[in-house]
Amino acid sequence: MFYKTALLGAVAFGFTVSATAQTASIEETKLDTIIVNGSRLDQTMTEIGSSVSVITRDDLEELGVDFALDAIATAPGVTVNQNGAFGGNASVRIRGASNDQTLVLIDGVPVNDPTGTGGGYNFAYLDTDTIERIEVLKGPQSTLWGSDAIGGVVSITTKRPTEGLSGTVFGEYGSFNTLRGGASISNANEIGDFRLAATGLTTDGISKADEANGNSEDDGYDSQTVSAKGGLNLPASVRLETSLMWSDAESEYDSYAFGAQGSVADGDEVTNSETLSGNITLKAPLFDGRLENLVQIGYADIERENTSNGVQSYFTEGDRVLFRYQGTFAINDTNTLAFGTEREETSANEQESSIDSLFALYEFKPVDSLTLTGGIRVDDHETFGSETTGRVAAAWTATDQLTFKASWGQGFKAPSIFQSTYICTFCGLTAPNTNLKAETSEAYDIGVQWQSADERIVLGATLFDQETENMIDFSYTAGYDNIALVDSQGGELTGAYAINNWLGIAASYTFIDSDDGNGNALARLPESTGNISASFDPDGPFSGAVLVRYNGEETNTDGSELDSWTRVDLTGSYDLNDTVEIYGRIENLLDEEYQQILGYGTPGLSGSVGVRLRY
């Protein structure tokens, strides 16, 4: 039975065996108890029919990464791109969809940047210390989460308070004169709970423009994050909760340079980004707990300022306000209905928009081994009108060793405020493009998972197909217009083997064939990506892991090819006692020279060591 927990991380996460999960309780960690919050029906991994990768806190600690971006990059079907390390603009693409088509939630609140050209989220700054888990929902999720979820959802849950008074303090030092540290305090009892935490990072960094091209000026990065989370347990099982996250980041970057590789070279540019997100949530059960009512108000704000040679070159501010009600009614053991309404108000640089939504989801379990799910949603945008999306999914545990899953869904994305208000004056226009329409998508996936009778081996395979129409892109005749179509097909393979109770290996491989409708490959999207990992946690104070990441060739925006690359990372930790832990990480062990985006460099062989105190 220990093999089941040893393989859990590989099955849920898709690439790694969680070392800490190996010693966890089987009842606490088996797949039919892992709840996928992003499903809106609190379905388990064996009940949800669509493809999901779950990155747990154990996985984050085993990876030892500072930024959420580096953890998300290991999920099958996900591609990341970053303009240099340490604060460079970073994007996440799910199965070929663009970063602007990925909805990001923090504790259920959308945090995509309303001031961005396409309304995407910049993953460059999010520190892992505040995160409890990350869910990557693949394919259109608009029926669940509305606009922006046209390609997928990254749902982030911040750390929860723990029972009793406790806390942590940590500090680490690494290459490029990097200092990172933080502290937290937490308490929980029958009355309520709270958690407060703060994290900071400062580094000299590396040149964002690749040093191999003669660029030598380091581009530094500084960030601070403060988070709070808590709740009150009220009479009649009513609970009032709140969460808050504030971050401030300053990142130096390089300048546009005509003729240079990637058109980037050393320069004196700085971007400052300050974000605030949070929510207040009331949970009230009725009818002996059969009807769960959730009322939530969410808020997200961002301010960005760019300076060039000390002079402000750009400033923008935007926010999102969310009003949400969801009711989940357990009709009986076989039927569950979720329904609700949302209103989201968005502003960017004094321009505003809003969307009103109604949704309903239905779960039917005719037998314990089969879960059928369907849903419909209507979103009414004040400018672009109404969009209706639907989805169906099925999960069938045919035997103790074999599980089948399938899903079909639709997605849409309303034009961003920038796209809908932009006037292309050098195109000869005097008004925005009033013919702009929402992007739409349709996709399906089908998968199978098998595990050996002794539970030591787990294998999985998924096929997917997604088509996106009315893609918004820039044209020199209409400014932003619906001129593109994207078709993506591919497959994901995962496997894991528990060699014994303390040593396991896992691997994943993703193939994506995407084009723009004219047969042209999508830029910055490799056809092949993969991971191989091994983790060990023998009896005793020492544990560790090794991760090998492969990224295949990519087409650049200018049509040239970017070389493939392979990177090896090592992590390890040593518990001096129950209170003190020493940990370390070596990145890019083989000192691979590679680029994620043409012209932008990445760190070579580097590392860090740290100490963590728990009380």
Structure tokens at 591: 């000192």
What integer pLDDT is reported at residue 21 of this predicted model? 34
Distance CA 581, CA 170 (A): 9
Mean pLDDT, range 350-358, rounded to an integer: 96
Q: What is the pLDDT of residues 465-478, one digit of tens each?
A: 999 999 999 888 88
Give me the domains of the chain, ranges plus CATH numbers. 2-614 (2.40.170.20)
Closest Cα to residue 331, out of 361, 376, 357?
361
Structure tokens at 346: 């968005």
What integer pLDDT is reported at residue 427 of this predicted model? 85
Q: What is the pLDDT of residues 97-125, one digit of tens each?
A: 999 999 999 999 999 999 999 999 999 99
Neighbours of 576 (CB within 10 A): 10
What integer pLDDT is reported at residue 168 of this predicted model? 97
Distance CA 231, CA 234 (A): 9
- Calculate the CA 37 to chain-centre distance: 13
What integer pLDDT is reported at residue 18 of this predicted model? 37
Q: What is the DSSP letter of 521?
A: B
Q: Residue 8 pLDDT > 80, yes or no?
A: no
Q: Residue 126 pLDDT > 90, yes or no?
A: yes
Neighbours of 13 (CB within 10 A): 31
Q: What is the pLDDT of residues 212-263, one digit of tens each?
A: 999 999 999 999 999 999 999 999 999 999 999 999 999 999 999 999 999 9
Under the banding of pLDDT at 50, 70 and 90, the label for residue 3 is very low
Q: Residue 43 pLDDT > 70, yes or no?
A: yes
Q: What is the pLDDT of residues 84-96, one digit of tens each?
A: 999 999 999 999 9
SS3 69: helix
Contact in structure between 306 and 312 (CB atoms under 8 Å): yes
Distance CA 343, CA 522 (A): 34
What is the model's pTM? 0.94
Under the banding of pLDDT at 50, 70 and 90, the label for residue 32 is low
Q: Residue 24 pLDDT > 90, yes or no?
A: no
What integer pLDDT is reported at residue 2 of this predicted model? 39
Residue-averaged pLDDT of the chain:
92
Q: Residue 484 pLDDT > 90, yes or no?
A: no
What integer pLDDT is reported at residue 15 of this predicted model? 36
What integer pLDDT is reported at residue 20 of this predicted model? 32
Sequence-ordered list of residues with C-beta below 8 angstroms from that of 539, at least 6 positions apart, any chain: 502
SS3 420: helix
Least confident segment among 29-38, 230-239, 427-436, 560-569: 29-38
